[in-house]
Amino acid sequence: MVKFSPVGEKEVTRALIEGFAKHYARLAECDVIIVGGGPSGLACGRELARKGVRTLVVERNNFLGGGFWIGGYLINKVTVRAPAQEYLQEIGVPHEEVTEGLYVADGPHACSKLIAAACDAGVKFATITKLEDLVLRENNRVAGAVINWTPVEAMPHNITCVDPVALESKVLVDATGHDAAAVGKLEERGLFKRKGFGAMWVEKSEDLVVEHTGEVHPGLVVTGMAVSTVFGLPRMGPTFGAMLLSGVKAAEEVLRILKSQPAQVVAARA
Ligand code: 48F
C-alpha cells in the first residue's frame, strides 16, 4: 500500500508561496526576457540558457508552445522543410520525410519535446503573464518588461485597478508571433512602424524570416513570425522550420549584444 508523507495544507501553501517569491526575486533582473513561449521563443531560450544566460520566457497563456501544438487547419501534425529536420533530430522528435526536403512530425510530441528541451536547458517561465509595456532607458534602449497577470485585463476597472510590475533585462526578445507585441509598444510611442506580414509564399518566407531575425531597436531582438510582421515579409503558413532556426539565430544575436553591452551600459549610467 502507498503511504504518503504526513505533510498538511499549511506546508503545501508555504511551499507554493516561498517558491514563487524566490522565483520572482531572482527574475526581477535577468540577462534576457523573451516575450512569447511559441516555437521561436522556446528555441531561442533553449540556446541562451544552455550557454549560461539567465533567460526568462514571459507567456500570456497558461501553456507554452504557441502555435506549435497544431500544424495548421486544426490538424495536429507539424511540418518542417530541410534543413530544420536537423533541429527535430537534435531534440529527439520522431519525424519522417514525406517528399524530398519536407518532413512531418506529431505536433504534441514535437511541442512537448521543445518545451522540455527549454526547461532542461534552464529557461525560467512566467506564465499567465502578459507584456503590458516596455522599460525604456537612455536613447529609448529597451531595458525590461512591464508585466501583469493576464486575467487582470478582463477585470472591470470599477472593481479593481491592478498596477503592473517591471522586470529588468539586458536584452528583450519579441517572440510574440503575428502580433509583434513588444515592437508594437515602441510603435505606440512613435518609435517604430511595423509593416504587417505579407501574403503566403512558403518558398520565400522561411529564408527571409531567418535572414531578418535580429536587433531592430537598441536592446530589442525579433524572432519568429514577429519578424514577418515587422519587415512585411510573406507568411509561411503551417510549417515551422523557420520558427526554430529563427529562434537559434535570435540567440546568436542576443549573445553578440550581451558581449558588446556592459561597456555601453556602464558608460550610459555614469
Ligand atoms: O504564435 P506563436 O507560435 O509565435 P512563433 O513562435 O511561431 C509562429 C507559428 O506558431 C505559426 C506560423 C509559422 O509556422 O505562422 O503561427 O513566431 O507564439 C507566440 C506566443 O506569444 C504569446 C502567445 O500567447 C504565444 O504563445 N504572446 C503574444 N502576445 C503576448 C504573448 C504578450 N503580449 N505577452 C505575453 N505573451
CB of 221 closer than 8 Å to CB of 253: yes
Taking the CA of residue 227 as reference, the ligand 1 atom at the shortest distance is: 17
Q: Which atom of ligand 1 is nearest to the CA of 41?
A: 6
Is 225's C-beta closer than 6 angstroms to any atom of ligand 1? yes
Say what the pLDDT of residue 158 is. 77
Contact, 61 vs 195, CB < 8 A?
no
141-173 exposure pattern, b = at least 16 Cβ within 10 A, e = fewer: bbbbbbbbbeebeeeeeeeeeeeeeebebbbbb
pLDDT of residue 269: 39
- Ligand 1 centre to CA of 69 (Å) is 12
Q: Is the CB of 179 under 6 A from ligand 1?
A: yes
Statement: residue 40 has pLDDT above 50: yes
- Nearest ligand 1 atom, CA 38: 18
Q: Chain-wide mean pLDDT for the chain?
A: 95
Cα–Cα nearest to 238, from 15, 39, 43: 39
For the chain, the structural domain boundaries read 30-68+109-269
Of the candidates 135, 142, 74, 69, the residue with the CA atom closest to the CA atom of residue 106: 69
pTM above 0.85, yes or no: yes
Model pLDDT for residues 226-257, shown as the tens digit of each residue:
999 999 999 998 999 999 999 999 999 999 99
Residues with Cβ within 8 Å of residue 241, at least 6 apart in sequence: 80, 81, 82, 83, 84, 85, 87, 206
Residue 262 burial (CB < 10 Å; 0-12/13-18/19+)? exposed
Whether residue 241 has its Cβ less than 6 Å from ligand 1: no
Q: Which residue is closest in CA terms to ligand 1's atom 16?
A: 67
Tell me: pLDDT of 54 over 60: yes
Flag whether pLDDT at 217 surpasses 90.
Answer: yes
pLDDT in tens, 140-179: 999 999 999 999 988 887 777 889 999 999 999 999 999 9
Residue 107 CB neighbours (<10 A): 22
Give the confidence band of 268 by pLDDT, cuts at 50, 70, 90.
very low
Would the CB of 174 count as within 6 Å of ligand 1?
no
Query: What local confidence, expressed as pLDDT, does residue 262 receive?
Result: 61
pLDDT digits (tens, 9 = 90+) for 61-94: 999 999 999 999 999 999 999 999 999 999 999 9
Residue count (the chain)? 270
40: nearest Cα among 249, 256, 246? 246
Q: Is the pLDDT of residue 267 over 90?
A: no
Burial 129-138 (b: 16+ CB within 10 A, else e): bbbbbbbbee
- What does DSSP say about strands 55-58 and 29-35: parallel, antiparallel, or unpaired? parallel
Residue 1: DSSP 8-state: -
> Which CATH number is 30-68+109-269 given?
3.50.50.60
